[in-house]
């Protein structure tokens, strides 16, 4: 999608979780200790932050500033609590919920990537149940059952929002 819409950039979130094989600090996430994350929260450095599956995640205001100062629009890949916080702070933002085809399919995908222990997968599925129940809070919902179709739908929503 980013190749097709060069005016967009994904904000790299911060997390306290451990790096998975192949991940690079500053590309997938800014990996940090819980103490560093807490210090940044205390300093008011985050646009949004939340606890998810036992780890902390957040988007730094400086990351948004860096992207927007470059003349691009920002995509945040965040969970429900973070999206709720962003809607309060930046009500002009457009929220899009990417929904799995089913919880069974989500479970299959999580297990197939083989990066989380079974307890972590079960915790993620419980969070997913709550998030799916809140999808009506979002401006748009995209069913992620076919990557090409879902990407085209996402691009259409984004292009419509940035043209407005």
Instruction: Kindly give the confidence (pLDDT) of every residue in the chain, 164 residues in length, as a single tens digit, with 9 standing for 90 and above.
Output: 888 888 899 999 999 999 999 999 999 999 999 999 999 999 999 999 988 878 999 999 999 999 999 999 999 999 898 999 999 999 999 999 999 999 999 999 999 988 888 888 998 899 899 999 999 999 999 999 999 999 999 999 988 887 76
Instruction: Give Cα separations from 78 to 58, 102, 163, 164 (angstroms).
Output: 8, 19, 23, 23
Ordered domains of the chain (ranges, CATH): 8-163 (3.40.50.300)
Residues 123, 125, 127: CA angle, nearest 5 degrees? 70
> What distance in Å separates the CA atoms of residue 92 and residue 96, rounded to the nearest whole number?
13
pTM above 0.85, yes or no: no
Residue 124 CA, distance from chain mean position: 14
Contact criterion met (CB below 8 Å) for 139 and 96: yes
């Amino acid at each position: 999608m980013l190749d097709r819409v060069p005016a967009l950039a994904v904000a790299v979130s911060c997390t306290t979780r451990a790096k998975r094989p192949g991940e690079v600090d500053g590309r997938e996430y800014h990996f940090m200790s819980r103490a560093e994350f807490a210090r940044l929260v205390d300093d008011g450095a985050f646009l949004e932050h939340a606890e998810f599956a036992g780890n902390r995640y957040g988007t730094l205001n400086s990351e948004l500033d860096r992207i927007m100062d470059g003349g691009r629009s920002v995509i945040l890949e965040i969970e429900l609590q973070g999206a709720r916080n962003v809607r309060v702070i930046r009500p002009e933002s457009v929220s899009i919920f990417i929904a799995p085809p089913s919880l069974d399919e989500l479970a299959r995908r999580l297990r197939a990537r083989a990066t989380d222990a079974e307890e972590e997968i079960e915790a993620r599925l419980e969070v997913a149940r709550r998030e799916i129940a809140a999808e009506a809070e979002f401006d748009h919902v995209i069913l992620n059952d076919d990557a090409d179709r879902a990407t085209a739908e996402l691009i259409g929503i984004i292009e419509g929002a940035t043209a407005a």
